[in-house]
Structure 1
């Protein structure tokens, strides 16, 4: 997985495959979310081609981190297998999911 952060609009874009192997890299995302005063974070998943259950777990960690700073997290642009996984996992009940 690759990620980029656009601080001006608080968008975190994920690209490629999001799996357990990315947990160390994902700490950079959590560090960004852990800074207060960032506003409502948006995860852009439009370039994500695959996500496993560990990726789901990392999104839950991101949600907890954002909520600790008083912000709700948005998941945006998921498609194909990633959207099917989010739907099957009922993530729309705990996240704002925008397709």
Structure 2
């Protein structure tokens, strides 16, 4: 699939994460039909009933004592106030309620 470029064309992806109401596993899909996999219910002691918040993120850690590491492809390094096409963004974020309905 195409990749967004700084201050140029921007492309979206669809990621869906949901909880299987019968087994309690948390599943992830990418795009329209690509099932990525799941996190077993046993990993999430506090999510047996429901989640209280939704977060998405990442972290870059440099474990080398001399401070040198490979370049990291995580975001553009620009903040939202720099405008569309220059920073990453979310849109059309939806969550599933306790009845398994998108809200």
Instruction: Give the TM-score, by structure 1 length.
Output: 0.25
Return the structure number with greater relative CO, CA threshold 8 A, min gap 6. 1
Between Structure 1 and Structure 2, the one with more strand by share is: 1
Instruction: Give the TM-score, by structure 2 length.
Output: 0.24
Larger radius of gyration: 2
Between Structure 1 and Structure 2, the one with more helix by share is: 1
